[in-house]
């Protein structure tokens, strides 16, 4: 019976992978590439569901765990790196005097700048491999989860494509800002900072207080601010994780 039950979370994991693959195709195609971000958000939704369904059906398996990491590597490692590549490409166009920068004419420095986008994929691979061997079933993660880091990139990419505010666009096309975001996310992913998990082992309010705060605040931020609210909710997630660490240490 369990062999049948594990099919359901694995299907959701494959939908996560499929969403990530389609996102990569859209970015490469170069038409409406901002839509790739929505597919990565969809992948994150399937990633949340597959874990939830596996716990509800008691259908966890080593196969499912490995499949989940492989899917996450594509959807939250490779796909965001390609978005970062496009983002840095726009930065180089903005820096070009004639605004006619083309990849085929890139010099060594410009090529290295574009290749830096792939550092995110490398950090994601290390983060996922470390998570796999940790066998961590607790309610915290060591380091920023790869999907959360990917969604920060995705939310910024959507803001860049949506904003009409010149000051915001100028900031997001500033090469130092992009590299600061990349470096910060890599440090957080590879750090040992305890980050909250959304794994609910019960519906108890007292045992899941931070998780409930995060879900409610995130929902309210997205309702209030739309796409920008996604970024706000992720920043809130990082801050809430740090606050929960301080409270736990104080109580201990």
Q: Per the domain annotation, does 239 fall within a domain? A: no
At residue 91, φ and ψ (nearest 5 deg) are: -60, -45
15-27 burial: b if 16+ Cβ within 10 Å, else e: bbbbbbbbbbebb
Supply the CATH number for residue 56's domain: 1.20.120
pTM beyond 0.85: the answer is yes
Nearest-CA neighbor of 124 among 132, 134, 112? 132
Q: Per the domain annotation, does 251 fall within a domain? A: no
Tally of structural domains, the chain: 1
* pLDDT at residue number 85: 93
Residue stretches of the chain with pLDDT short of 70: 1-3, 31-32, 97-100, 135-139, 199-207, 248-252
Q: Per the domain annotation, does 221 fall within a domain? A: no
Cα–Cα distance measured from residue 198 to residue 158, given in angstroms and rounded to the nearest whole number? 24
* pLDDT at residue number 58: 79
Domain boundaries, position 101? 2-138+145-195
Q: Per the domain annotation, does 150 fall within a domain? A: yes
Q: Per the domain annotation, does 22 fall within a domain? A: yes
Q: Per the domain annotation, does 235 fall within a domain? A: no
Q: Per the domain annotation, does 85 fall within a domain? A: yes
Q: Per the domain annotation, does 28 fall within a domain? A: yes
* pLDDT at residue number 50: 87
């Amino acid at each position: 019976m369990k062999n049948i039950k594990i099919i359901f979370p694995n299907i959701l994991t494959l939908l996560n992978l499929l969403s990530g693959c389609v996102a990569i195709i859209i970015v490469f195609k170069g038409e409406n590439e901002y839509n790739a971000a929505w597919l990565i958000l969809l992948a994150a939704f399937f990633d949340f569901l597959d874990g939830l369904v596996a716990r509800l059906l008691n259908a966890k398996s080593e196969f499912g765990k490995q499949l989940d990491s492989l899917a996450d590597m594509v959807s939250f490692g490779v796909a965001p790196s390609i978005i970062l590549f496009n983002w840095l490409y726009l930065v180089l166009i903005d820096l070009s005097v004639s605004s006619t920068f083309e990849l085929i004419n890139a010099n060594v420095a410009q090529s290295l700048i574009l290749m830096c986008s792939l550092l995110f994929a490398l950090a994601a691979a290390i983060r996922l491999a470390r998570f796999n061997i940790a066998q961590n079933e607790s309610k915290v993660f060591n380091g920023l989860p790869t999907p959360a880091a990917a969604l920060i990139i995705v939310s910024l990419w959507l803001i860049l494509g949506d904003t009409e505010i010149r000051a915001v666009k100028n900031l997001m096309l500033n090469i130092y800002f992009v590299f600061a975001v990349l470096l910060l996310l890599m440090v957080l992913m590879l750090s040992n900072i305890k980050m909250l998990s959304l794994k609910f082992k019960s519906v108890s309010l007292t045992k899941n207080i931070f998780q409930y705060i995060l879900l409610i605040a995130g929902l309210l931020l997205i309702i209030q601010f739309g796409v920008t609210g996604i970024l706000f909710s992720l920043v809130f997630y990082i801050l809430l994780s740090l606050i929960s660490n301080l409270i736990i240490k104080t109580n201990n």
